[in-house]
Amino acid sequence: MMKFLKILALFFMSFILVNCDNSKSDSTNTDSSKTSQSSQNYDASQAVVIAEAKKQLPIKVDQITTLVDIFAKDNFINYKYQITETPKDALLVPESQQIILDNIRQTYCSDLPEIKSLRAFFPNGANYHYYIDDEKIFSLQLTPASCQAK
């Protein structure tokens, strides 16, 4: 998983360097066009990140969990995990979900440069979707505020 995050960070940094523009903006730009351009830059950056990440899939996270898809929506990065060898009921127990949430929060809120880059490219946060046999069992969401609440 860490190798995957390092690869993502490399693509983030290279994309930032390629898209840096030090030229002065035209004073006739309106705030709405600047906002639209900023949104388009996020969309383009996120598309590159997601495309490169998908090349690495599937990624076996642990004995029962495999990351099978990654996508962007509304400035969130979304991870789709497939769970095997675990009954659905075991995942629906609040304590199980809390353990998973604590583990992903620890990674999402870390100060690793790769993770900081991910948070910068997806400023609204991350959604984690857990499936068994293509049936969504539950989802968890982390936002920048999740790190301040820990």
Domain ranges of the chain: 2-17+32-148
> Is 2-17+32-148 a domain of CATH 3.30.300.250?
yes
Give the separation between CA 150 and CA 145, rounded to whole angstroms: 9
pTM for this one? 0.75
Give the separation between CA 12 and CA 120, rounded to whole angstroms: 9
| pLDDT tens sequence across 81-101 | 999 999 999 999 999 999 999
| pLDDT tens sequence across 45-68 | 899 989 999 999 999 999 999 999
- Residue 25 DSSP code: P
- Rounded to an integer, the average pLDDT of 93-112 is 94
